[in-house]
Amino acid sequence: MPDTPYWVAFTRIPGIGRARIERLEHGFGSLAAAWEAPGMALRDAGLDAKATDAIVAARPKLDPDEEMARLERAGIVPLTWHDARYPARLRETYDRPPVLYLRGTLIGADDFSVAVVGTRRATPYGRQAAESICEGLVRNGVTVVSGLARGIDAFAHQAVLRVGGRTIAVLPCPVDEAYPAGHARLAAQIAENGALLSEYPLGARMQRESFWRRNRIVAGMTMGTVVIEAGDKSGALLTAKLALEENREVFAVPGSIFAPMSRGPNALIQAGAKLVRDAEDILTELDLMRVPQQLELRQTLPTDSTETALLTLLSTEPLHVDQITREANLPVAAVSGALAMLELKGMIRQVGSMQYVRV
């Protein structure tokens, strides 16, 4: 996109995040125009004095085209939330990153993705559970997303790579680095067989908040989050909380009541998370038993105007078929047929009582 260099440049300025990017785009029509705007115009667009001063001070030191050249030399692709490759579910979240930095590739099949997270201090039981569940997900065409951390995250990525599946690692640092540093080789393997993603530009330093911000991307871009072993204060529990806030499913692998690393998953189950015994429990709950067939249908059966209209209406918030029919202003038979076809393609799903959500 021709505007992308300016998105990259703006998001390199401290304090310029989602809300201010939205104000700039709304106020000027494009970030290219906003980049050239004088300070008074920035204030008129809704930016406060601190943000305006930061932009005015940073612009002489930042060359948008040079920022893009640096990324190209590093083999990194920036995706704004207007880019078709930007994860669709993440785009619908409230706190979506304005720019995602990509090393590797994202493909259509990654729409069918599940997060697998857990403690850094995994037990043999946790490792076995992570490997078994991830292998089962991959055999059914599901992409596994995690955070490249030690323990469960690493075991999940490694299990997927062993069986030739797709995995995505979301990093708390720029994608030309790896955290922890000892996972640099694993990160390179993931980039070759999937993708590394981060909202942090080249040269950004990790902060304390980098980890929960990473976790919100993991939760926001996937259909559901599976927690395998977590202590009382584990970051995996925060990922589960963030998933719930975005109306995603949360799953947990149970463990011994005497095992410290099973306290988190057991508490999640007690609070209503879906208990997981194997990959099939996740696949059934998320209607992912037919992913290869759904992908084939997407390619062979084009989306017609009725399906397009319904996809525009639907989101992660359930809508009843009657409300869909009213808002689409289409015949009941046409809506019913299109909903059935979209469900076959895996693009929507029914969540009970004739209510539908976009996948």
Mean pLDDT, rounded, for 31-38: 95
Q: How far apart are CA 147 and CA 118, in angstroms?
A: 10
The pLDDT of residue 300 is above 70:
no
Give me the residue label for tokens 């694993």. 186
Both tokens of 158, joined, read: 């490694």
Strands 249-252 and 99-104: unpaired
Nearest Cα residue to 292 out of 116, 132, 88, 109: 109
Query: Is 291-358 in CATH node 3.60.21.10?
Result: no
CATH number of 108-285: 3.40.50.450
Q: Give alpha helix (H) positions in 231-355.
A: 235-245, 263-270, 279-285, 291-300, 305-313, 321-328, 332-344
Longest dimension (CA), the chain: 63
| For helices 124-139 and 152-162, angle between their N-to-C axes, nearest 10 degrees | 40
Q: How far apart are CA 160 and CA 113, in angstroms?
A: 12
pTM of the model: 0.83
- Residue 177's pLDDT is 95
Mean pLDDT, rounded, for 154-164: 97
Which H helix or E strand runs over 115?
strand 113-118
CA distances to 72, 144, 229, 237, 267 from 261, in Å = 42, 22, 5, 12, 11
* Residue 84 vs residue 296, higher pLDDT: 84
Mean pLDDT, rounded, for 40-48: 93
Q: How far apart are CA 84 and CA 98, in angstroms?
A: 14
pLDDT band at 185 (very low <50, low <70, confident <90, very high): very high
> DSSP secondary structure string, 20-67?
HHHHHHHHHSSHHHHHH--HHHHHHTT--HHHHHHHHHHGGG--HHHH
- Residue 335's pLDDT is 85
Amino acid identity for residue 126 in this structure: G
Q: Which residues lie closer than 8 Å to 282 by C-beta, 6 or more apart?
A: 114, 133, 137, 224, 226, 251, 274, 276, 288
- Residue 293's pLDDT is 62
Mean pLDDT, rounded, for 194-209: 94
Report helix, strand or coil for 239. Answer: helix
